[in-house]
Chain A
Amino acid sequence: MDSSAIVTVLIAMLGGAIRVSTPFMFVALGETLTEKSGRINLGLEGNLVLGAMVAYAISFHTGSPWLGVLAAGVAGLILGALHGYICKLPKVNDIAVGIAFMSFGTGLAFFFGKPYIQPSAPRLESIPLGNWTGNPALAQALQVNPLFFVGIVLAVAMAWALRNTRWGLIVRMTGDSAASAKAMGVSVDLVRFLATAAGGFLAGIGGAFLSLYYPGSWNQGLSSGQGLMAVALVIFARWNPIRCIFAALLFGAAGAIGPALQSVGISQGYYFFNAAPYILTLFILIASASSKGAAREAPGELSITK
């Protein structure tokens, strides 16, 4: 592989990181909030797919993609709120309800999404940030959707708020010890309900990015498990919003490796290159995990890490 090929692959990875990461980012941030409050919602894949469908449909009918984004968030919010409400009932397992909601959300999206597979809906515009480069591939890689920046700002804001605000303290306390939160007079159920609903909202927006920007179309195969993977990335990012951003970027960049390597003529074993995001994530997990570290950072109330 000569140097120009390496540059091509690196540019593609940069572009991939920017283009592909946003849905992972939103779902992972939403899930981080939910999990920080001590509950897990494994069903955000359902929110993502339903959000994608609703966003596309609304954009198609109203002509406004941003209205579509909002509607996707609301659809996600409703699913999240349902999840949050149900899981506060005693003896109901949040992981299982999440998986059920995955089925329910995708089912609704497929059911009502039939008429929207064919039409073209107005899509979100990107901001060209790379025109100064004079390199068309790089310029393309630097076409950035506003939602990407929203995601980053949100992550920073969330990280700050969790650490420095009263609300953040309440969420963290609820997640670490329900008993002490109760002792402080906090309604654990209410906090978790709100955190799950807000998480659902963000996952819905992640879906809107898929259908309205990249790849920018609605069909039943749109997601291929991004929502599920994003939930897993939260554990990978150890419940830290900033690390969620890096995890999403890494995952997006790794996803670009397969096609990019083929485009410079390396196609041996493309199945493994295509699986690069999963392999890479696993190796980093193994390398970085230690029996104690992960447990220390996990919210104490989280069923999945107990």
Chain B
Amino acid sequence: MTAEAVPASAILLRSGNVRVKKLAETIAIPLGALLASAVLFSIFLLLLGKSPIEFFALVWTGGFGSSFAIQQSLQRAAPLLLTGLAFAIPARIGLTIIGGEGALVLGGFAAAAIAIPLVSNSAPAFLTLPIMAIFAMSAGGIWIGLAGWLRHYRGVNETISSLLLSYIAIAIMNFFVEGMLRDPSSANKPSTMPIGDAYKVGNIPGLDVHWGLAAGILLAVVLYILMSRTTFGFAARMTGGNPRAALAQGLPVGFLIVSCCMIAGACAGLAGFFEVAAIHGQANASLVAGYGFTGILVAFLARHNPLVIIPVAVLFGAIAASGGVIQRRMAMPDATVLVLQGILFVVLLVSETFYGRFKIFQPGRTGDRT
């Protein structure tokens, strides 16, 4: 177990020069890891008789090579940002919540469900959308909050309960979407009533990316401040570092755990809201797209730092975006990208071990890390 919670507070205590070195380290190590995984994957490609040069050229073309490609990467990053936050926040308090997928699905479903009466009574969009978002965030928040509550008050392991709750959330959504709340005109793809173009969340001006990205970035910043600059965050991280000590010090551990879980669920629920309000316009089985699970990796690679989640989510978006180009141009199966992702993740995670090992990045005296 590495103590993720410690460095952030430790950094704050250090001087400016140390900070620069620290920053250099946080940039150099992941870059090295990226390079190493590129080399490993090139070997894989060479063994298959494919050209690594062509491959990485296509990754560039598909992920970053043009303003179109960049926008595609950003589009795909938007939901991952939010689901990444949904894993990272409970992780700071020491919980492993892998049920973001369920909170996203339930959030999207709640948003679409509450939209039905509002839209059919022609409520104005500026009222409808916030209400939808609030419902989505509440639904997701309650769902993950439940996992946190069960953990603290009933001793139910949150990893397993959040996973189970995830499957149950999907069943709930399917049950209503294919039954009571099914729009009769959604014949072969059972869905709730579409909210219609007038109610849809649009794109960020000048970009082909919906507002979910902006919301995600904003939330990441807000949550970063909450977790590293407030008493709440300090108490949460302390609880994550040592729950027993936190209890002994009289911290409201139960409150902190449930709150962090609810924040996490709200993030995932908001991702569900944007899936419905910005993309599908309705809730259906397409909400189950695996963003919740990918978000877990995003959070880990960002070391549960809300700010770092932003670039990591974009990187994931770029890899996903270039996957299609690679399939089409190189006639390789879609699983190629899965292999690349797997290698990349493993190498990036392995690179964690190098933090603090290179003298060049170290401050003059030894750090206060244990």
Residues of A within 8 A of B (CB): 46, 82, 86, 89-93, 95-97, 99-101, 103-111, 114, 228-229, 232-233, 235-236, 269, 271-272, 274-275, 278-279, 281-282, 285-286, 289-295, 301, 303-306
Contact = CB atoms under 8 A, between A and B. Distances in A.
Given A91-B352, A93-B2, A306-B94, A286 B156 contact: yes
B1 interface: yes
Contacts of A89: 350, 353
Given A91-B355, A110-B333, A271-B174, A232 B160 contact: yes
Nearest to A273: B171
A97 B2 CA distance: 13
B155 A279 contact: no
Contacts of B353: 89-92
B333 A92 contact: no
B167 A271 contact: no
B175 A229 contact: no
A92 B349 contact: yes
Interface residues of B, number: 50
Given A97-B350, A269-B175, A275-B171, 18 more contacts: A96-B297, A103-B297, A103-B342, A103-B345, A104-B338, A107-B339, A107-B340, A107-B342, A108-B335, A108-B342, A232-B164, A272-B175, A281-B160, A289-B150, A289-B154, A289-B157, A291-B152, A306-B1
Contacts of A293: 155
28 contacts: A86-B349, A90-B353, A91-B356, A92-B350, A93-B300, A93-B349, A99-B300, A99-B345, A103-B297, A103-B345, A104-B342, A104-B345, A107-B336, A107-B338, A107-B339, A107-B342, A109-B335, A111-B333, A111-B336, A111-B338, A233-B160, A271-B171, A275-B171, A281-B160, A282-B164, A301-B1, A303-B1, A305-B157
B262 interface: no
B2 A92 contact: yes
Contacts of B335: 106-111, 114
A285 B163 contact: no
Contacts of B165: 282
Nearest to B348: A100
B143 to A, nearest CB: 12
Contacts of A110: 333-335, 338
A235 B158 CA distance: 10
Given A96-B300, A100-B342, A281 B164 contact: yes
Interface of B: 1-2, 4, 94, 96, 150, 152-157, 159-161, 163-165, 167-168, 170-171, 174-175, 178, 243, 293, 296-297, 300-301, 333-343, 345-346, 349-350, 352-353, 355-356
Contacts of B174: 271
Contacts of A275: 167-168, 170-171
B96 A285 contact: no
Contacts, number: 154
Contacts of B178: 271
Contacts of A292: 155
B349 A96 contact: yes
A27 B300 CA distance: 24
B161 A282 contact: yes
A116 to B, nearest CB: 13
A90 B1 CA distance: 9
Contacts of B352: 91-93
A285 B168 contact: no
A278 B346 CA distance: 30
Contacts of A82: 346
Nearest to B155: A291
Contacts of B152: 291
A279 B160 CA distance: 12
Contact of A291 (B2, B153, B159, B296): B153
Task: Name the 10 nearest CB pairs between A and B, nearest first.
Answer: A104-B342, A107-B338, A110-B335, A100-B345, A291-B155, A275-B171, A96-B300, A107-B339, A111-B335, A232-B160
B339 A104 contact: yes
A219 to B, nearest CB: 13
Contacts of A282: 161, 164-165, 168
A105 B155 CA distance: 32
Given A235-B157, A271-B174, A306-B1, A100 B338 contact: no
Contacts of A294: 155-157
A33 B4 CA distance: 26
A291 B154 contact: yes
Contacts of A106: 335, 338
Nearest to B242: A306
Nearest to B338: A107
A278 B349 contact: no
Contacts of B161: 282, 285
A99 B159 contact: no
A91 B334 CA distance: 32
Nearest to B243: A306
B159 A271 contact: no
A233 to B, nearest CB: 8
A305 B261 CA distance: 16
Contacts of A285: 156-157, 160-161, 164
